[in-house]
Amino acid sequence: MINQQTLESYYEKKGRLQQNFLTKQFQADLPKFSAHEEAANWFKELFGDDFIFVEKTKAANETEFYYLYDIIHDRERWERRERDIKEKGFANGLGMLLCAQRVDIYEDGSVELAF
């Protein structure tokens, strides 16, 4: 069961900086959600301010929507990346790609994480 006490066991180290990134086992062990709001609330409770809404977009079938979120794993690099994107239109630098992990939540509550 995923909770604050077990969360650390779901991370693996990735990249040259050996940054924390959630594993496929985390996705496999997620509770079954019945709606987008239920899933988003669960993630928000687990990750707090490090779980942020990015945008709502149409699914491939063009009839449903899904919601993009990020789980911030390295707040300092994430803030620098966001600032660079706003100021320069792009961001590059060591660790920028793995400072956050994308989470897609569909209207039916299904969840897909980027690995």
What pLDDT, in 10s, does the model give residues 75-108?
999 999 999 999 999 988 888 889 999 999 999 9
Residue 71 C-beta-side C-alpha neighbours within 13 Å: 24
User: 48 burial class (0-12, 13-18, 19+ CB within 10 angstroms)?
Assistant: exposed
What is the C-alpha separation between 79 and 77, in angstroms, rounded? Answer: 5
Q: pTM of the predicted model, to two decimals?
A: 0.90
Q: In this model, does residue 47 exceed pLDDT 90?
A: yes
